[in-house]
A and B are shown apart, each in its own frame.
Chain A
Amino acid sequence: MKNVIEQLINGLSTGSIYALIALGYTMVYGIARMINFAHGDIIMVGAYALYVGVSLMNLPIAAAILLSIIVCAVLGITVEKVAYKPLRKAPPLAVLITAIGVSFLLQNLALLIFKATPIPFQSVIQVPSVSIGGITISGVTIVTLVMTLISMVILTLFINQTRAGSAMRAVSEDKGAAELMGINVNRTISQTFAIGSVLAAIAGILYICQYQSLRPTLGALPGIKAFVAAVLGGIGNVPGAMLGGIVLGLIESIAKAYISTELSDAIVFGVLVVVLLVRPSGLLGKLKNEKV
């Protein structure tokens, strides 16, 4: 039994990272209506930015974190302006392909600059682990969970309570109508990408504090899995993303421990397929009819 609980804790620690990434995914998808394939790679950029700040520029940790967040926010806005904005009226296929292109571009730039060999990175979070009845939860996991929870609450409040948030909801409902209501659609979408990228930066920072190592492809798989989490929770739904991330982490951990390690990825992706085919709106999402 103790072992099962320990495995669930393991699931919680990966799940909390998925949840944090999924928040950014769901936000961008919910409002801009596109899968930002590059989201995972913005996490990678955030991680490398922190590394550059801490290890190469010897900045204080708070400044390095700020640097990482700013770099990601600027990158997110730039990518949106250059690669996605001109395609607002193009078919979704075109946007998807450029998103894949951006993802590859970022990965290969990182590969050229930092090489494929993993770079070790000492965690900047010094929180002691907590032990309850012989079961240990690491400090980083606790911080990640708390950060995800805080991000979720702030994001929900922001979207529901502020003017910019209502603008985002309006754009998500109907771009044309939002424009007619005097909402600056381009600025709203820029803001969405900036916020999504800030979340990605935070995820990147927590990710390398958890795994203590950087490589150019570090964001790719977590990015895709976080997308699965966002779909599982109901895409566009902020609390759903958090729930989906944690459920996915638990599923993955249980699958690895008690079914088959080698098939755990297949099981995770199987979850995606099943959810999309059986309940495309996810756990918490509302079903939407396609408009003619």
Chain B
Amino acid sequence: MKKLLSMLLIAAMVLSMTACSSGTDAADDSSDAAAAEEGDTAEDAAEGSAEGGTFVIGGLGPLTGDAASYGISVMQGGQIAVDEINAAGGVQVGDATYMLELNFADDEASEDTVITAYNSLMDSGINALMGAVTSGACLAVIEQSSQDGILQITPSGSALGCTEYDNTFRLCFTDPLQGTTLADYAVDNLGASKIAVIYNNADEYSTGIMEAFVEEAEAKGAEIVANEAFVTGDVDFRTQLTSIKATDAELICVPAYYQDATYITQQAKDLEMDIPFIGSDGWDGVLGTVTDVTTVEGAVFLSPFLASDPAVADFVEAYEAAYNATPDQFAADGYDTVYVIKAAMEQAGSIESADLIAAMTEIQVDGVTGSVTFDATGEPNKAAKFVKIVNGEYTAME
């Protein structure tokens, strides 16, 4: 036993000494070495062949757990775009032609899992990153991706900080922008002067929209007559609704996800309240979860994508054929993100990360979520689209 231990100790000492000596040689670049090597190998492989090669888009999003549906939608939407582009002959970058490949890793929408997921993508070699799908994971991963300098576009991470660095872009609206847009619409188009709000206090998305909404609505002269909070997992909103019922609210703003909106609209009807609703883009999908479509009749919400819009019929058809499901806005975001990356590749005439990032502000993409350009801060410029539920159907509004 003792012998074995001393042998091991000697071995360890020898190893640590060699480790130290090699460490001093490469002291400066050792920390980034692994990253640079991995990134380079992918690019080298691509540049090696005259005809181009494979351009790998890494994807990050939840494929399991409560938020799984968002990640799966983004992945599937992105895959449709990748298949379409490859079927049409790939992406022409300068003289070379690249085929696209999507390598999507599950981040469980968790801030710590996303970091190992991102690193495993970098290990396998990716050229650009689509993700992360959820804001929290996205905020956690940008610290790393900015050090690697890789082009990162989040399809749906709406927290303000997601585009903090030069390499980070986003396709969707930010939370505050949604809040402001909703308030403008509520006051200017719907003429509401007394507004109630119900928001999820335990959710950054909901809180972010609520704050901007309240600020803008008040700036426009409307009165917030009730501002009620709930927390994730709540299913009973009668208390909040009863408080609102006691006010003279003309409109209820619900910046939340469709699951919450389902309970809220249902219970509002139970309480015999007849006040119209306005919601954030999280409402998309609400018709699939309500038992009685009349509870959401007349509700208006922001949505970048409407599957019944004839302009997006091709995408919807391809998606339905592949996955036997109607694409939601996350799928559309994933689809458009891949086309944005394609446009950046073509514009840059190179697949170097720095060139791709520089090209981002010069491109315009007409996607299924509308026409979009990007500014240097990483934010998209695109028109807000509203959807109204009419006769139990999503209907686009002009």
Binding site for B on A (CB under 8 A): 2-3, 6-7, 10-11, 13-14, 115-123, 129, 136, 138, 211-213, 215, 217-218, 221, 253, 256-257, 261-262, 265
Contact = CB atoms under 8 A, between A and B. Distances in A.
Contacts of A138: 270
B238 A13 contact: yes
A116 B290 contact: no
Nearest to B68: A116
Interface in B186-209: 201-202
A121 B291 contact: yes
Contacts of B65: 116
Contact of A211 (B202, B245, B263): B263
Nearest to A116: B66
Contacts of B246: 2-3
Contact of A256 (B68, B239, B270): B239
Interface in B124-153: none
A11 B259 CA distance: 22
A118 B243 contact: no
A257 B242 contact: yes
B266 A212 contact: yes
The size bracket of the interface on B is: 20 to 34
B43 to A, nearest CB: 38
Contacts of A7: 239, 242-243
A162 to B, nearest CB: 36
B231 interface: yes
22 contacts: A2-B246, A115-B68, A115-B69, A116-B68, A116-B69, A118-B262, A118-B289, A120-B290, A122-B291, A123-B291, A129-B270, A138-B270, A211-B235, A211-B266, A213-B263, A213-B291, A217-B233, A256-B239, A261-B228, A261-B239, A262-B231, A265-B231
B288 A120 contact: yes
Nearest to A216: B66
Given A119-B289, A121-B291, 12 more contacts: A3-B246, A6-B245, A7-B239, A10-B238, A10-B239, A116-B68, A120-B288, A136-B270, A136-B271, A136-B272, A213-B263, A215-B259
B112 interface: no
A11 B238 CA distance: 9
B381 interface: no
Nearest to B239: A256
B70 to A, nearest CB: 10
Contacts of A256: 239-240
Contacts of B266: 211-212
Nearest to A256: B239
B230 interface: yes
A116 B66 CA distance: 5
Interface in B251-277: 259, 262-263, 266, 270-272
Nearest to B290: A120
A47 to B, nearest CB: 12
Contacts of B259: 118, 213, 215
**6 tightest A-B CB contacts, nearest first:** A10-B238, A256-B239, A261-B229, A3-B246, A122-B291, A262-B201
B289 to A, nearest CB: 5
Contact of A14 (B68, B236, B291): B236
Interface string B290-312: 11100000000000000000000
Contacts of B240: 256, 261
Contacts of B236: 10, 13-14, 211
A261 B231 contact: yes
Given A117-B69, A120-B262, A120-B288, A10 B242 contact: yes
Nearest to A255: B239
B208 to A, nearest CB: 16
A107 B65 CA distance: 11
Contacts of B271: 136
Contacts of A221: 233
Contacts of B67: 116
Contacts of B291: 120-123, 212-213
Nearest to A131: B272
A158 B272 CA distance: 40
A256 B198 CA distance: 13
Nearest to B246: A3
A117 B259 CA distance: 8
Nearest to A211: B235
Nearest to B285: A117
A122 B239 CA distance: 22
Contacts of A261: 201, 228-231, 239-240
A213 B243 contact: no
The residue among A7, A121, A261, A262 with the most chain B CB atoms within 10 A of its own CB is A261
Nearest to B235: A211
Contacts of B69: 115-117
Contacts of B233: 217, 221
A269 to B, nearest CB: 13
A213 B228 contact: no
The residue among B236, B243, B291 with the most chain A CB atoms within 10 A of its own CB is B236
A211 to B, nearest CB: 5
Contacts of A3: 242-243, 245-246
A121 B238 CA distance: 19
A211 B270 CA distance: 11
B194 to A, nearest CB: 17
The residue among A10, A115, A138 with the most chain B CB atoms within 10 A of its own CB is A10
Interface in B30-73: 65-69
The residue among B67, B228, B239, B245 with the most chain A CB atoms within 10 A of its own CB is B239
Nearest to A260: B229
A138 to B, nearest CB: 5
A96 B335 CA distance: 47
